[in-house]
Amino acid sequence: MNARQIGGWTLENIGFAALVVAVTALFGWMLTPYFGAILWGLVSAIVFRPLYLWLVKQSGGRKGSAATLTLILIVAVVIVPAGLLGASLVAEATGIYERVQSGQLDAGAILVKGVNALPGPLEGWAREYGLSDPERIRAMIAPGLSTGLRTVAEQALTVGQGALSFLAALGVMLYLTFFLLRDSEQLGERFRTALPLDPTLRDQLIEKFLTVVRAIMKGTVAVAVMQGIVGGLIFWMLGVEGALLWGLMMGFFSLIPAVGTGIIWVPVALYLIATGSFWQGAVLVFCGIFVIGLIDNLLRPILVGKDTKLPDFVVLIATVAGLELFGLTGFIIGPIIAALFIAVWDMVTQVRGQHIKEDAAKA
């Protein structure tokens, strides 16, 4: 064996591969501060590509104009409403936090009022577990409530201080989205050529990745937004305080399988019924089951389809783990990694099964 070869690899090839890995890792590390912006730019390009292709066709093949118009629509339809919603949410959370701090809003007293209105057996059970003692309840939930509200309220100051960084990240996202849309064919072909995989497996993996991203954004995020909006409107019409905050929480919890929006509207409905607001509680129960719940049951299968559906326990674990590791963007990254994990091992199973059949046929 040639001294300059190791297992069929020349020293030059090994050195070049090491250089590629090192430079790629260094470049990835350099982009870490804008990881979220890059991720959302990639996701936006994938999700809005059908719209971009339609605009290209309508504009007579002008890719630059179509990409620019797509960006304008993304800003008008997604970014501006999200900014207004965030500002309103911060204002509402700030107001509620100030009322909690001043004692105008006493969560312990509210819960005790609900316990006292429960039927006899349930009230006795609640008293047995100390749920009729306002001081004990206040000690249990007040710190967490205050911390959560303070965290949201402080975002106003954080956003104000980090406005330049936020605008830079937003600019990176839109800039990247533009080029990913306009040059998607050339970039996609270069990526396919550079990816060191069997062409068939490579194309299957890329297609799976694109399908999963679209499915998550259409079938998970879109459903969460719809449930949050509808839930917030229902709370507002019923006169429940903090409707915007409750709507946002319902949208967030709808991302997590086996939890869903019920973790928000069920306790509120029970409280309304227990405190004598029977019709408001009944309306909330009806809307929670037949309006908010049906949004998920009807829209998700239509938007996602059967081919991309992951087992609920996989989605739950991947979403929670993703949120823990990557923050808010984890609800996208977690399921994508889980879907790619399953796709890769499905490919391994197919290849192994084919080899086993071929070996059996030869025998």
Domain assignment present for residue 223? The answer is no
| Residues 115 and 189 grouped into a single domain | yes
| Residues 40 and 72 grouped into a single domain | yes
| Residues 48 and 187 grouped into a single domain | yes
What local confidence, expressed as pLDDT, does residue 144 receive? 55
Domain assignment present for residue 235? The answer is no
Domain assignment present for residue 186? The answer is yes
Give the range of the structural domain holding residue 133, as residue numbers without chain letter: 34-194
CB 30 within 8 A of CB 38: no
Over the chain (363 residues), the average pLDDT of each successive run of 10 is 59 84 92 88 91 92 93 92 79 70 61 59 56 55 56 55 74 93 90 83 82 78 87 91 85 78 85 81 91 81 62 79 82 83 83 79 73
Number of structural domains in the chain: 2
Domain assignment present for residue 295? The answer is no
Last residue of a domain, one of 146, 178, 194: 194
| Residues 24 and 104 grouped into a single domain | no
What local confidence, expressed as pLDDT, does residue 82 receive? 82
Q: Over pLDDT 90: what percentage of the chain? A: 19
Q: What is the pTM of this model?
A: 0.74
What local confidence, expressed as pLDDT, does residue 326 receive? 83
Domain assignment present for residue 82? The answer is yes
Residues 6+ apart with CB under 8 A from 316: 256, 257, 258, 259
| Residues 21 and 65 grouped into a single domain | no
What local confidence, expressed as pLDDT, does residue 263 receive? 85
What local confidence, expressed as pLDDT, does residue 362 receive? 75
Domain assignment present for residue 85? The answer is yes
| Residues 190 and 48 grouped into a single domain | yes
Torsion sign over Cα 264, 266, 269, 273: negative
What local confidence, expressed as pLDDT, does residue 246 receive? 87
What local confidence, expressed as pLDDT, does residue 142 receive? 55
**SS3 state of residue 277:** coil
Give the distance, in angstroms, between the CA of residue 4 and the centroid of all CA atoms in the same chain: 50
| Residues 78 and 108 grouped into a single domain | yes
Last residue of a domain, one of 179, 194, 209: 194
| Residues 173 and 53 grouped into a single domain | yes
| Residues 102 and 135 grouped into a single domain | yes
| Residues 26 and 93 grouped into a single domain | no
What local confidence, expressed as pLDDT, does residue 91 receive? 75
pLDDT digits (tens, 9 = 90+) for 31-62: 988 888 898 899 899 889 999 999 999 988 89
| Residues 168 and 51 grouped into a single domain | yes
Residues 6+ apart with CB under 8 A from 155: 86, 90
Domain assignment present for residue 6? The answer is yes
| Residues 158 and 87 grouped into a single domain | yes
111-129 burial: b if 16+ Cβ within 10 Å, else e: bbebbeebeeeebeebeee
What local confidence, expressed as pLDDT, does residue 108 receive? 57
Q: What angle do CA 232, 278, 253 make, to 5 degrees?
A: 30
What local confidence, expressed as pLDDT, does residue 191 receive? 86
Backbone angles phi, psi at 5, to 5 degrees: -120, 140
CB 343 within 8 A of CB 208: yes
Domain assignment present for residue 69? The answer is yes
Report the candidate in 326, 334, 319, 332 with the shortest Cα–Cα distance to residue 260.
319
